[in-house]
């Protein structure tokens, strides 16, 4: 409620309770990494630091399945700027709770101003995002201390006039009886030419390394940047099909699922 005197509420988030767990999405929160940038909610929220503290509190209890604690806390603070209102129980046709949450968020929360800010300078921002997500996947998969970063390989390049040697490198190397090389591949639903350049560069390096080294597996750690995650995913299907000719592809936007799948691909069993 931006102005307590006028008592005109604005929706800033949605919490969806599903079985024993909960899902939440708030204004200024990246839908993929979950990171919160309160400045993206400045057009609604007058106290960004207070907003950030409340959102962290909401997310903590939503993820833990202890949402009743939030209800008890706010019931004792009736004049606070932040409050919750129950929306009821819905039985709708969704593929899963995360899709339902995203659609409810977009129908109930004004995200237009936030989106304009969020996707400015998307190129560098996207690259940083993928690196952060990959690091979180490694930690979740419990392999972060075993990762070798930026390994390089000496390859031979055959030209029309001579053969030369040069070095190529990958983002990560993992050894578990066999060698696996991994590369971050940030993709954009809005830049198909840029996607193909990245993928062709990676396939070139993979092909040359396979000629000289005993590398058993290549893994492309990707994230698709786009306003709508579902449409964005569909937009890069052709690029992913090309990438799959040499590498396993792993979407790092869902950290728990990516971590679990990565352990399987690397031959690591869960404790």
Query: Is the Cα dihedral 123, 129, 133, 139 positive or negative?
Result: positive
Give the model confidence (pLDDT) of 156-177 as tens digits: 888 778 888 889 999 999 998 8
Taking the CA of residue 199 as centre, how many other CA atoms within 13 Å lie in the half-sphere pointing to its CB? 23
Q: Residue 242 contacts by C-beta under 8 Å, 6 or more apart in sequence?
A: 196, 199, 203
Which has the closest alpha carbon to 39: 25, 28, 53?
Answer: 28
CB 113 within 8 A of CB 43: yes
Q: Residue 82 contacts by C-beta under 8 Å, 6 or more apart in sequence?
A: 1, 50, 51, 54, 74
Predicted local confidence at residue 162, as pLDDT = 83
Regions in the chain scoring below 70 on pLDDT: 2-7, 31-32, 76-80, 90, 92, 110-128, 226-235, 269-271
**Separation between Cα atoms, residue 181 and residue 170, nearest integer Å:** 7
**Separation between Cα atoms, residue 221 and residue 134, nearest integer Å:** 7
Predicted local confidence at residue 187, as pLDDT = 87
Indicate the pTM of the whole model: 0.53
CB 223 within 8 A of CB 130: yes
Q: Report the number of secondary-structure helices (H) and strands (E) in the chain.
A: 9, 9
Predicted local confidence at residue 190, as pLDDT = 73
**Separation between Cα atoms, residue 25 and residue 162, nearest integer Å:** 57
**Separation between Cα atoms, residue 194 and residue 185, nearest integer Å:** 11
Predicted local confidence at residue 227, as pLDDT = 42
Predicted local confidence at residue 97, as pLDDT = 80
């Amino acid at each position: 409620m931006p102005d307590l005197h006028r008592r005109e509420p604005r929706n800033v988030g949605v919490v969806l309770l599903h079985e024993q767990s909960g899902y939440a999405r708030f204004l200024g929160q990246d839908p993929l990494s979950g990171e919160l940038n309160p400045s993206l909610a400045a057009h609604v929220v007058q106290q960004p630091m207070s907003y950030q503290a409340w959102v962290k509190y909401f997310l903590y209890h939503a993820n833990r399945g202890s949402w009743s604690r939030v209800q008890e806390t706010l019931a004792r603070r009736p004049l606070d700027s932040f409050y919750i209102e129950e929306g009821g129980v819905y039985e709708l046709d969704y593929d899963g709770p995360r899709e339902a949450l995203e659609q409810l968020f977009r129908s109930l929360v004004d995200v237009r101003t936030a989106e304009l800010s969020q996707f400015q300078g998307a190129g560098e921002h996207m690259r940083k995002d993928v690196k952060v997500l990959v690091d979180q996947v490694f930690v979740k998969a419990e392999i972060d201390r075993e990762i070798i970063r930026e390994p390089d390989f000496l390859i031979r390049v055959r030209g029309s006039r001579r053969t030369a040697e040069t070095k190529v490198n990958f983002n990560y190397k993992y050894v578990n009886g066999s060698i696996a090389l991994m590369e971050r591949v940030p993709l954009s639903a809005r830049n198909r030419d840029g996607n193909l350049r990245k993928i062709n560069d990676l396939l070139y390096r993979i092909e040359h390394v396979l000629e000289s080294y005993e590398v058993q597996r290549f893994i492309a750690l990707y994230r698709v940047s786009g306003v709508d995650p579902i449409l964005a995913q569909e937009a890069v299907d052709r690029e992913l099909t090309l990438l799959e000719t040499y590498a396993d592809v792993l979407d790092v936007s869902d950290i728990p699922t990516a971590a679990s799948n990565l352990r399987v691909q690397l031959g690591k069993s869960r404790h």
